[in-house]
Structure 1
């Protein structure tokens, strides 16, 4: 049975546009997933990347075209300039970490609902009420937003270190136990083919 370490950012638009395809692919192949939220800005700093707002205008313009195309291809609505982006991704990341530890709900749904809150619903996922609503909507105890702070604060930076060690430099990033890595929502077909033995 294959295993996938899924490095994600709860504020990444390309992670949002991945939707629930990873979960569908994993279910198809009987693969397990470990959700590993990371501080994407810190990751850029560690691996030679640049935050979107600091990139050359040519790159910023291209990114906006890519986002519009991704929305068209996936059918997922989005706002080009969300009201609460960037925002502090730590609280929502802590909630994902706590939910994974607690179990009992749908982690894929939780991650996607947090991302949709940013990119489609104009909500601030640094706010407790937004995080708790996403937890509850995915079948988790909303109190995890409070009780999971300590665990999240320990694991969140550890995820970053693990990401750098495993060759991760962006999000979404999929690391398979076969040693193959895949970067971006547009590489999910390749991940599917790899798990199927075709790539």
Structure 2
């Protein structure tokens, strides 16, 4: 069975714009996804990147243009400057890690629900109530927001180290079991072709 390590941040607009296409692609290829949320703000300086707020104004402006352009193309609602961004990504990431360990719900739906809360619904994904709502909507026990916090923190930190070791420098980033790498929601077609080979 093909495997895909899915590195992402719950703060990433481009992970939001990927929607459920990764899950559809994995189902078509009978591939298994391992969801690996990580701290993108810590990744940037370690891999030669710059946080959006520290980029040149021309880059900041173009980022917003591209986000709007991609959202329109994908027919997804987006707030280019969410009220609660950036926020603390750790609580939502811990919940995803706990849900992946627990099983029983739809992990893709959970990830997309959290991202949509940030980028389309003006919700603070660091808030317990928002995380619980997303867990419930995806078929998970809302109490996962509270359980496994220590394990979640350890895995969250390890995911960052795994990302650096795997050559990840942004989000979303997809690494297949055979080591192929794809950066960005606009590379999902390339990932699809790779899995077809």
TM-score by length of 1: 0.98
1:108 aligns with 2:112: no
Match of 1:5 in 2: 5
CA distance in 1: counterparts of 2:154 and 2:68, whole angstroms: 36
1:111-148 C-alpha deviation (Å, 9 max, x unpaired): 00000000000000000000000000000000000012
Alignment of 1:161-180 (within 5 A): 161-180=161-180
Match of 1:90 in 2: 90
CA distance in 2: counterparts of 1:13 and 1:121, whole angstroms: 13
Match of 2:77 in 1: 77
Unaligned segments of structure 2, at least 5 residues: none
Deviation at 1:63, TM superposition (A): 0.4
Deviation at 1:178, TM superposition (A): 1.3
Alignment of 1:122-161 (within 5 A): 122-161=122-161
Unaligned segments of structure 1, at least 5 residues: none
Deviation at 1:150, TM superposition (A): 1.4
| Corresponding residue SS for 1:147 | coil
Alignment of 1:21-60 (within 5 A): 21-60=21-60
CA distance in 2: counterparts of 1:51 and 1:11, whole angstroms: 12
CA distance in 1: counterparts of 2:8 and 2:67, whole angstroms: 17
1:69-97 C-alpha deviation (Å, 9 max, x unpaired): 11111111011110000000000000000
1:150-183 C-alpha deviation (Å, 9 max, x unpaired): 1111100000000000000000000001111000
- Matched residue pairs, number? 197
CA distance in 1: counterparts of 2:65 and 2:128, whole angstroms: 32
Deviation at 1:55, TM superposition (A): 0.1
